[in-house]
Amino acid sequence: MSERLKTGDTAPAFTLPDADGKDVSLADHKGRKVIVYFYPRALTPGCTKQACDFTDNLDLLTAAGYDVIGVSPDKPEKLAKFRDEENLKVTLVGDPAKETLEAYGAFGEKKNYGKTVMGVIRSTIVVDENGKVEHAFYNVRATGHVAKIIKDLGI
């Protein structure tokens, strides 16, 4: 199981394809704060709710100096369908190899309907302007999580 990040850790660098197949890197956002959230699968009810919540609050988050990147193991084609069907405005990137998911501690053992399985652990990491972890939230709920982040960040 991958190590969970803690406040003060250096956020692992990543470059992943977005819904249009263009590379998106954490380094592209240097000088801005970034909310990197990890979700199991596009086009599922919980993940849709969470992505819509981030989209609905994107203007508020952007005005407060935060960019938002959603990471899942999905391929760009599925991310494009997800974005288009749900009118999502957040940047969605795919990590089919699960390397970034593992580097952020967002992939490993979890409980699913009472069984222990390997999978994506719904997580959100807030990275500061210098690439350091400001907040690390693991095992978050899809519903109400964005409101909690806004409250915790004092936005």
Catalytic residues: 47
| Locus of tokens 């954490």 | 26
Residue type at 17 in one-letter notation? P
Largest CA distance in the chain: 42
| Locus of tokens 């989209």 | 55
How many angstroms separate the CA atoms of 113 and 130, rounded? 39
Instruction: Indicate the length of the chain as a whole number.
Output: 155
Rg (CA), the chain: 14
Contact 116, 11 (CB under 8 A): no
46 token code pair: 């919980």
Torsion angles phi and psi, residue 136, rounded to 5: -135, 115
How many angstroms separate the CA atoms of 83 and 136, rounded? 25
